[in-house]
């Protein structure tokens, strides 16, 4: 992965933070397409230690200070919980480094916001889950994240307003259909009808939240498998990462996105829809892991709507792809024509698969 930053520049950037030892090298790290991320190696008295240095993408996160305030508050809370527990000594959380002014972030001369934190050793994130057992561990980790934040004091910044407001996503689709700036609406009538035929379901969780049956919680909002670290030896989920989207939300959004992203064996833009479907054994792993960790703090309504949440979030992501296709592919990056349409069709096929298995999913309750 190419980087515009030289070793001298990386050394200068990490110099904005309180790090002891001698800088050796900084290399691009991970495969994220939002932030610039580097793994840094330091020599501290003959021992080599690693840190992560990361530039927050200000085009995606318009208010990086609020993002970092959320991250700092959540990780501080989690660290206190871990230290107070004698049974969860293996659990870890991101440990931010302070800049010289005491804040957990710093701005460079160009106005870019940077952060640094201690690298979590002997654990890794998996891009693709290979078994229901791994799904159980991932869901257990995200469930523990929910449980540990139940007694969080105060409210976080809503850094991306209405992130999972599905009715507003429907309204955005309808506006894109009406505008039809690329003359594409005619070719996607089936996909438009697919959404509109399910429109009445899209406000289900919002209504349950308004009635008090489903409480607002602190949610991760990007619960893909590669956003949690698995211990190399024990196989346990030990640390939730990529906390940029942590903010107020509903626990079912996190569970739903986990199911959406982890139960389908096909690629997100798979053209052959015969390959697309929800693997029930993987769903069962996610369900059992999440309930095992968070079940005691979930309300009856939250448990009841766990199966529905996967369908809702998958429908929402599919309509976002469809909206972007109608608008000229202006939001999601594409590598080929009609890729957003293929992404949309994959999500909608996954919705159909979930609907066909809904009775089995509910039977687990």
For 21-48, how does the pLDDT look when each residue is reduced to its tens digit (9 = 90+)?
899 999 998 765 567 899 999 998 899 9
**Is residue 125 assigned to a domain?**
no
- C-alpha to C-alpha distance for 119 and 111, rounded to whole angstroms: 25
3-state secondary structure of 115: strand
CB neighbour list of residue 131: distance below 8 Å, 6 or more residues apart = 285
What mean pLDDT comes out for the span 326-348? 93
- C-alpha to C-alpha distance for 82 and 271, rounded to whole angstroms: 45
- C-alpha to C-alpha distance for 61 and 117, rounded to whole angstroms: 19
Higher-confidence residue: 29 or 228? Answer: 228
- C-alpha to C-alpha distance for 29 and 31, rounded to whole angstroms: 7
Residues 170 and 114 in one domain: no
Residues 300 and 252 in one domain: yes
pLDDT surpasses 80 at 65:
yes
Share of the chain above pLDDT 90, in %: 82
The CATH number of residue 234's host domain is 3.90.1200.10
Residues 351 and 314 in one domain: yes
Residues 84 and 168 in one domain: no
Of 221, 191, 220, 224, the residue nearest 324 (C-alpha): 191
- C-alpha to C-alpha distance for 303 and 175, rounded to whole angstroms: 34
3-state secondary structure of 258: helix
**Is residue 2 assigned to a domain?**
no
**Is residue 29 assigned to a domain?**
yes
Final residue of a domain: which of 96, 119, 142?
119
Per-residue pLDDT, 89: 55
Instruction: Report the mean per-residue pLDDT for the chain.
Output: 93
Per-residue pLDDT, 88: 52
Per-residue pLDDT, 245: 92
CA distances from 244 to 159, 261, 341 (A): 9, 18, 27
Cβ proximity of 126 and 238 under 8 Å: no
Residues 66 and 152 in one domain: no
Final residue of a domain: which of 84, 119, 154?
119
Centroid of chain to Cα 330: 21
Higher-confidence residue: 327 or 5? Answer: 327
- List the single range of 161-165, 167-171, 292-296, 298-302 with lowest mean pLDDT: 161-165
Where are the extended beta strands (E) located within 73-138?
106-107, 113-118, 123-124
User: Which two structure tokens, joined as six digits, stand for 112?
Assistant: 């870019």
- C-alpha to C-alpha distance for 255 and 164, rounded to whole angstroms: 13
pLDDT surpasses 80 at 131:
yes
Per-residue pLDDT, 84: 85
**Is residue 127 assigned to a domain?**
no
Query: Residue 297 sits in which domain range?
Result: 132-363
Residues 114 and 214 in one domain: no
Residue 258 φ then ψ, to 5°: -60, -45
Q: Where are the alpha helices (DSSP H) in 85-165?
A: 132-148
Residues 108 and 160 in one domain: no
Where are the extended beta strands (E) located within 36-177?
36-44, 47-56, 106-107, 113-118, 123-124
Cβ proximity of 100 and 17 under 8 Å: yes
Centroid of chain to Cα 189: 30
- C-alpha to C-alpha distance for 87 and 82, rounded to whole angstroms: 9
- List the single range of 4-8, 146-150, 181-185, 340-344 with lowest mean pLDDT: 4-8
pLDDT surpasses 80 at 52:
yes
Centroid of chain to Cα 20: 32
pTM over 0.75: yes
Based on the structure, what is the number of domains in the chain? Answer: 2
Cβ proximity of 262 and 282 under 8 Å: yes
Residues 88 and 161 in one domain: no
Residues 94 and 218 in one domain: no
pLDDT surpasses 50 at 346:
yes
Residues 11 and 159 in one domain: no
- C-alpha to C-alpha distance for 321 and 329, rounded to whole angstroms: 9
The CATH number of residue 44's host domain is 3.30.200.20
Of 123, 340, 142, 118, the residue nearest 224 (C-alpha): 142
Share of the chain above pLDDT 70, in %: 97
314 band by pLDDT with thresholds 50, 70 and 90: very high
- C-alpha to C-alpha distance for 331 and 343, rounded to whole angstroms: 13
Highest mean predicted confidence (pLDDT) among 78-82, 330-334, 344-348: 344-348
Per-residue pLDDT, 60: 75
Per-residue pLDDT, 34: 65
Of 216, 217, 218, 239, the residue nearest 227 (C-alpha): 239
Residues 99 and 168 in one domain: no
Per residue in 82-122, pLDDT (tens digit) is 888 765 557 889 999 999 999 999 999 999 999 999 999 99
2 band by pLDDT with thresholds 50, 70 and 90: very low
Residues 298 and 234 in one domain: yes
């Amino acid at each position: 992965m190419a980087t515009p930053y030289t070793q001298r520049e990386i050394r200068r950037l990490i110099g904005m933070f309180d790090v002891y030892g001698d800088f050796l090298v900084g290399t691009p790290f991970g495969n994220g397409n939002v932030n610039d991320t580097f793994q840094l190696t330091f020599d501290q008295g003959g021992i080599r230690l690693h840190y992560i240095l990361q530039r927050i993408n200000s085009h995606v996160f318009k208010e990086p200070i609020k993002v970092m305030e959320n991250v700092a508050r959540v990780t501080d809370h989690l660290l206190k919980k871990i230290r107070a527990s004698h049974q969860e000594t293996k659990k870890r959380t991101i440990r931010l480094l302070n800049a010289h002014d005491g804040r957990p972030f710093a701005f460079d001369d160009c106005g870019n916001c940077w952060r640094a934190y201690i690298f979590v050793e002997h654990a890794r994130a998996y891009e693709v889950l290979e078994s229901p057992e791994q799904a159980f561990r991932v869901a257990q980790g995200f469930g523990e994240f929910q449980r540990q934040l139940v007694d969080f004091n105060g409210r976080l910044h809503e850094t991306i307003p209405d992130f999972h407001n599905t009715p507003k996503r429907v309204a955005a689709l309808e506006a894109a259909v009406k505008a039809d700036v690329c003359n594409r609406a005619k070719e996607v009538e089936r996909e438009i009808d697919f959404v509109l035929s399910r429109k009445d379901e899209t406000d289900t969780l919002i209504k349950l939240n308004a009635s008090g049956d489903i409480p607002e919680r602190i949610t991760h909002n990007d619960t893909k498998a590669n956003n949690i670290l698995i211990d190399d030896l024990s196989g346990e989920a030990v640390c939730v990462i990529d906390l940029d989207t942590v903010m107020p939300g509903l626990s079912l959004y996190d569970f739903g996105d986990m199911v959406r992203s982890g139960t389908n064996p096909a690629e997100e833009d798979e053209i052959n829809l015969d390959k697309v479907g929800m693997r029930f054994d993987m769903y069962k792993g996610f369900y059992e892991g999440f309930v095992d960790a968070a079940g005691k703090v979930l309300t009856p309504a939250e448990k009841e709507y766990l199966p529905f949440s996967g369908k809702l979030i998958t429908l929402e992501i599919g309509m976002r792809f469809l909206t972007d296709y109608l608008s000229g592919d202006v939001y999601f990056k594409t590598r080929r024509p009609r890729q957003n349409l293929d992404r949309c069709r994959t999500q909608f096929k996954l919705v159909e698969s979930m609907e066909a298995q809904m009775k089995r999913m509910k039977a687990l309750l």
